Amino acid sequence: MATAKSETAEHMGGMEDAIAKMQALPLKVKAFLSTNPNAPTGENTKTVHFVRHGQGFHNLVADIARKNGKTWTPYTVTEDNPYVMPEILDAPLTDKGRQEAISLQETVQQMKDQPELIAFSPHCRALQTGLLVFEELEGKVPYLAHEMLREEIGVHVCDKRRPKSRQEKEFPAIDFSLIETEEDALFTPDRRETKVEVATRAYKFFEWLESRPEKHIGVASHSAWLLAVFNANLECDESLKAWFATGEMRSVVLEFCR
């Protein structure tokens, strides 16, 4: 719990600027907990099941470093920063992370309206998580990787995407046609994205999602991206703005307004 609070505080810097930028854009998206009896049901609504990936190896390595008393300045390239280790490039899930994802399968099975589309961040840990969480839907609904769902980008090697062709070979069930470049053209080794930039990427995703015909969607993404979405992009209750735990699913009704 202490780690979650620390990470939330760390990632809230610049959020006010992101909120202001999103409020100035034409598309407004409101979010309501899916169990809310007052949630809207119009043609301009969709039910979205947002999932944070399960524990990744980068999360484990950082947890071990903290337990050993190591500290580091976020988003700096130093020996003490575990997130810049070359070995954790595009970090995959740990076994704990896989089990966290598998534990959500029952939740999906109990959904009255099954997802008609699954959108994935193209990072390994999100791809693995989405495939496990929505395993029963493989081959039945579109599985699409979307670059705008990526984690906050820059400096941390775990957030650098592997080549598109490698992801296609290792995750053949997923359609990567929306990924435009073979190599990661967005990653910057010396600068972290601002919250405005993260929220702008998310805004582009919501524009795309609004245009899709599906009404029930699963989304596999990341903690900082989700924090920006629920704090800057979506108009929602305070209870929905909290940090996502690894392997957490948050189901909401989205209302798209212009």
Catalytic residue among 53, 58, 146, 216: 53
Q: Which two tokens stand for residue 4?
A: 């979650």
Phi, psi of 191, deg, nearest 5: -150, 135
CB 161 within 8 A of CB 187: yes
Phi, psi of 137, deg, nearest 5: -95, -5
Phi, psi of 57, deg, nearest 5: -60, -30
10 Å Cβ neighbour count for 242? 16
Catalytic residue among 100, 116, 147, 151: 151
Active site residue 151: yes
91: left (phi over 0), alpha (psi -120 to 50) or beta: beta
Which amino acid, 163? P
Active site residue 10: no
* Residues with catalytic function: 53, 151
